Amino acid sequence: MSIKQSRWTLIGISIFLIALTWAVFGQTGNYQFVNYDDPLYVLDNAHVRAGLTWRGIAWAFTHVHSQNWHPLTTMSHMFDCQLFGVNPGAHHLVNVFFHSIAAVLLFILLAQITNSIWASAFVAAVFAIHPLRVESVAWIAERKDVLSGVFFMLTLLAYFRWTRKQTVGRYLAMSLLFGCGLMSKPMLITTPIILLLLDYWPLNRSQRSASFAQPPARLGPTAAREVRGQKSSNPPWTKLVVEKVPLFVLSIGSCVATLWAQNFALGSTQFL
């Protein structure tokens, strides 16, 4: 497949994934708010209903919301109210939008790191319409999940680009995206571990993973033995861990912020 054909294939599959996601979840545009957490996140929150303002942004970063500190999620709800008021259908469809973007990003990521377009398309399609995604997409209060999902996929893509060309700018971009993901939902604290798993496969960045790599089939048995016997130029695991120290620091910071938010919320409840 030529580069031009490959590009059009990627575009076509991306459009298909978006259409598939909206075909399944577009019906949520007819749904209402539910009484479980939706009032807490939107309807009964005066700061959120006021829309996206400088005062609201400051509040999102300095206050605990729904027993969590996730300012970007809070700001996304503010932005919805700024555009749509408290129209539940529009809030639902924003969730669908974020999920469709995450599905496309997953496809692009897998296609780039595995060079297998159709297998990547299948995996992304399963992710797009998997029943386990229904709660996150069809529930307005779960905006944090679909929003963090977008930043998670962007972080993985940025990491892959950084492994190809290790510049300070690319590392800062990856760290910024990861930080945004943590400020959407702290569940992403395990991302540095996931990056280490990607180093092993399919990126094959570690010495151990490289030692298990098979030599090309076109080589004869003698040449194949020589390839297996060559010392890997990949970095050791210690270096792979050390290069992710800033990301681990962000994860630890998110853990501290989450524990503080939970304890603060618990203390407020006991006080009331």
pLDDT value at position 236?
A: 87
Confidence of residue 271 (pLDDT cuts 50, 70, 90): very low
Per-residue confidence (pLDDT) for residue 65, from 0 to 100: 80
3-class DSSP assignment, residue 235: coil
- 112 has a pLDDT exceeding 70: yes
Structure token pair of residue 165:
């060309």
Cα(259)–Cα(241) distance, integer angstroms:
25
For the entire predicted model, the pTM comes to 0.89
Mean pLDDT, the chain, rounded, equals 89
Tokens of 239: 């270096």
pLDDT-derived band at 209 (thresholds 50, 70, 90) equals: low
Q: Has residue 232 got a pLDDT over 60?
A: no
Domain boundaries, the chain: 3-271
CA distance 175 to 108: 20
Taking only the tens place, the pLDDT of each residue in 45-81 is: 999 999 999 999 999 999 888 788 999 999 999 999 9
Alpha helices (runs of H) in 165-244, residue ranges in sequence order:
168-182, 191-200, 207-211, 221-229, 237-242
Each residue's pLDDT tens digit, 117-136: 999 999 999 999 999 999 99
Which residue type is seen at 65?
Answer: H
pLDDT above 60: residue 92: yes
Cβ(47)–Cβ(62) below 8 Å: no
Q: Report whether pLDDT(224) > 60.
A: no
Answer yes or no: is pLDDT of 179 > 80: yes
263 pLDDT tier (thresholds 50, 70, 90): confident
| H or E element in which residue 261 lies | helix 245-271
